[in-house]
């Protein structure tokens, strides 16, 4: 029940802004630029071979926006295009330099989030983890929203992802893969079958 004296929603909102702003600043600094560069690096690290169209859908970019993003990634030497699933499609893959940049992004993210948790005891951190799992479990309805929500996640640190678990339960109950899946996205949002896209 949301009682008038219950300040938890307001505190959650303030905390979300704090975490978001600190995280955005850290990952932007890790690649020397703002925008979606850092997010794109992490997405492509975990889901190599997706198309520009699929990447744009996950990052919430327009077609011109994702074309500009891919151009910037290529200019930095972080991404290369390879033949895709058919003659018209192009698959995006990180270069060696791009993989290193993605690792820097995840390291910067981990450091700033760890610093934010520093005032908490071990018990409080465990409680926060339980709360986060409960809040995240039912937040995605399709592969696109799964990939979008987890676009900056360090998957190696979250082997039992509550978001993915909730998605699997939903799609299992529905008897098939998620609805409104981005082009090129597999049932787990990993982009196992790249489709046509710009660039």
Instruction: DSSP letter for 156, please.
Output: G
For range 57-65, the mean pLDDT: 94
Question: ∠ CA(116), CA(122), CA(125), 5° rounding?
Answer: 50
| CA pair distance 27, 105, nearest whole angstrom | 5
Question: ∠ CA(26), CA(32), CA(37), 5° rounding?
Answer: 80
**Which has the closest alpha carbon to 152: 43, 28, 1, 5?**
43
The per-residue pLDDT for 170 is 85
Taking only the tens place, the pLDDT of each residue in 144-166 is: 889 899 999 998 888 788 998 89
Question: pLDDT over 70 for what percent of the chain?
Answer: 84
Taking only the tens place, the pLDDT of each residue in 90-115 is: 999 999 999 999 999 999 999 999 99
Identify whether the C-beta of residue 110 lies closer than 8 Å to the C-beta of residue 77: no
Sign of the dihedral defined by the CA atoms of residues 116, 137, 43, 103, in that order: positive
pLDDT of 188 strictly over 50: no
The per-residue pLDDT for 4 is 59
Q: Which residues fall within 8 angstroms of residue 69, CB to CB, at 6 or more apart?
A: 35, 36, 37, 40, 55, 56, 59, 61
């Amino acid at each position: 029940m949301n009682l008038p004296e219950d300040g938890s929603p307001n505190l959650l909102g303030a905390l979300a802004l704090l975490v978001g702003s600190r995280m955005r600043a850290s990952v932007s600094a890790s690649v020397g630029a703002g925008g979606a560069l850092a997010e794109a690096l992490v997405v492509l690290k975990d889901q190599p071979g997706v198309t520009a169209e699929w990447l744009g859908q996950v990052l919430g970019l327009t077609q011109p926006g994702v074309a500009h993003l891919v151009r910037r990634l290529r200019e930095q030497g972080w991404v290369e295009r390879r033949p895709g699933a058919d003659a018209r499609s192009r698959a995006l893959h990180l270069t060696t330099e791009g993989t290193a940049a993605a690792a820097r992004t995840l390291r910067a993210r981990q450091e700033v989030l760890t610093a934010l948790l520093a005032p908490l005891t071990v018990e409080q951190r465990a409680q926060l983890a339980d709360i986060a799992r409960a809040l995240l479990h039912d937040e995605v309805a399709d592969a696109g929203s799964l990939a979008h929500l987890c676009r900056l996640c360090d998957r190696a640190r979250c082997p039992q992802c509550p978001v993915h678990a909730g998605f699997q339960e939903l799609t299992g109950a529905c008897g098939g893969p998620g609805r409104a899946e981005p082009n090129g996205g597999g049932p787990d949002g990993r982009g196992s079958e790249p489709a046509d896209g710009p660039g």
